[in-house]
Structure 1
Amino acid sequence: MKIEHHSAWELDPTASITPQITRILRERIIQSDLKPGDRISESELAKSYGVSRQPVREAFIKLADQGLLEVRPQRGTIVTRIGYFAVLDARFLREAIEADIAKIVASDPDPAVVAELRHQLARQQALKGNDAAAFTRLDEQFHRTLAEAAGKSGAWRQIEGLKSQMDRVRYLSLAEFRIDALIAQHREVVDRIEAGDVPGANAAIRLHLREVLNDLPQIIAANTQFFDLPDGETPEPVNAPIQGGPNE
């Protein structure tokens, strides 16, 4: 297992260790720095960070619960493949929750929230090239800000645990498709919120979160070894109707 220590994956000795190691490993898996089938050593990781094995073990358990790691007693821990059904389920649940979040925020737009979202859009637009890692962090911040503005921080924490497999697909898609299109979709969400357009905000966030479905066949074809695919034909995703837009 290779150990990386660039700035985003360094430990802050003043903060709790287990959440940091969990975040670092989660990001490395999502960003394909750790790939499906890679083995991760609890003892090597603990030694690398100068910590005991207990926080590493706890991080492994959390990531196994998210479907990112498979802990095999006496045989080691490996990075899992991306579960096809897990991606569809996580995307469906995320859309259901975030569509309501967008409606709540648009029903009573807060100028301070809109200003913050506009600031985040500017930061996204300022990214140089197709910087997938940087955009992933800004994208996470954007969606978390919407949840917090709706008073649904707890719901967002639930989403974070569920959407890990979807995040892996989203990251792979950023290597194949332009980030500009996703930023434009973010801007449309903010425009609809600022206008107090509840149906429009609902439609905009749903279309944005369905983008991954459009990309999925090409992503799988380019990264077949990353996926745990069902036998036979892949099922069509089930989606709710979009207010003011097509039922895609």
Structure 2
Amino acid sequence: MAGLSSPTVALSPHEITPGRPMALQVHDAIRRAILTLALKPGEALSEKELALRLGVSRTPVREALIKLSDEGLVDVFPQRGTLVAPIRIAEVMEAQFVREALETAVVRRAAEQADGHLAPTLAGNIEAQASAAHAGERDAFLRLDEAFHRSLSEAVALPRAWKTIQNVKGQLDRVRYLSLPEAGQLATLTGEHADIAEAIRLRDPDLAAERMKHHLQAVFGTVRKLMREQPALFN
């Protein structure tokens, strides 16, 4: 596999575009920078500096930081200011519990009920994942990974299930991102997605749920490894 590309430079005015609510875009930009560790645990966050970097006023930045605090991705201290939160193991495990419970139920329903449009959607996504994995494009791969899982909820008319997962998995996503540079990791994830898609195509709910569970529980090994190698990131 080609050498992994560096993360996109975080937080520039180019990330803000017309047509979407400003506060939502600012939240998404800062959240993405935290999840990809362009903004690292313990790093101080200044409303003024973030506003300047994104080319916006301080109001949407303030709103974004409040929401990110609710998601557990930033900590607000009255005397110390706002800091990027550490990766809290208890929150990672809780997020994993919620995600596994919801996604195994979703994939069961997909295997039972999904129409003929889902299989080609998943196949096209997996093909794109394989290309991103071969090129070592982490950020592109993550977007495709998110789209793969989101498409399962949408295919069975459960979009709020995916929204719930999104709301709890910020801490989990930082662990996932840290694991991506490992040799062969992107290809492994692509293969696991292909296995899930095959179980759906076979209309085997038990197999689909088993493969989803295996796919999601791989994060436990990742957490143990990263805690040994980069303990300063964790709490």
Corresponding position of 1:169: 175
Query: Cα gap change, 1:62/1:109 in structure 2, threshold over 3 Å: closer, same or farther?
Result: same
Corresponding position of 2:4: none
Q: Which amino acid aligns with 2:214?
A: L
In the TM superposition, 1:98-117 aligns within 5 A as: 98-117=103-122
Corresponding position of 2:86: 81
169-178 or 85-94, which deviates more: 169-178
Deviation at 1:48, TM superposition (A): 2.7
Corresponding position of 1:123: 128
Contact 1:107 1:196 in 2 (8 A): yes
Contact 2:12 2:55 in 1 (8 A): no
Count of aligned residue pairs for this structure pair: 225
1:137 has 2:107 as partner: no
Secondary structure in structure 1 of the residue aligned to 2:180: helix
Match of 2:68 among 54, 58, 63: 63
1:159 has 2:165 as partner: yes
Match of 2:51 among 46, 50, 56: 46
Q: Which amino acid aligns with 1:197?
A: D
Corresponding position of 1:219: 226
Corresponding position of 1:195: 202
CA distance in 2, matches of 1:148, 1:77: 35
Residue deviations 1:212-239 (CA, integer Å, cap 9, x gap): 11222112112111100xxxxxxxxxxx
Q: Which amino acid aligns with 2:71?
A: Q
Contact 2:175 2:222 in 1 (8 A): no
Contact 2:175 2:219 in 1 (8 A): yes
Corresponding position of 1:240: none
Contact 2:42 2:84 in 1 (8 A): yes
Query: TM-score normalised to the size of structure 2?
Result: 0.91
Match of 1:146 among 143, 152, 171: 152
CA distance in 1, matches of 2:55, 2:222: 41
104-113 or 199-208, which deviates more: 104-113
Secondary structure in structure 1 of the residue aligned to 2:117: helix
Secondary structure in structure 2 of the residue aligned to 1:77: strand
CA distance in 1, matches of 2:90, 2:37: 19
CA distance in 2, matches of 1:109, 1:4: 38
Q: Which amino acid aligns with 1:46?
A: A
Match of 1:208 among 201, 215, 220: 215
CA distance in 2, matches of 1:6, 1:200: 44
Secondary structure in structure 2 of the residue aligned to 1:126: helix
Q: Which amino acid aligns with 1:205?
A: M
Corresponding position of 2:98: 93
Corresponding position of 1:245: none
Secondary structure in structure 2 of the residue aligned to 1:51: coil
Residue deviations 1:99-128 (CA, integer Å, cap 9, x gap): 000000100232211110100000000114
Deviation at 1:75, TM superposition (A): 2.8
Q: Which amino acid aligns with 2:151?
A: T
Contact 1:103 1:199 in 2 (8 A): yes
Superposed CA RMSD in Å reads 1.6
Percent of aligned pairs with the same amino acid: 37
Deviation at 1:151, TM superposition (A): 1.2
Which 5+ residue runs of structure 1 have no aligned equivalent? 229-248
1:24 has 2:29 as partner: yes
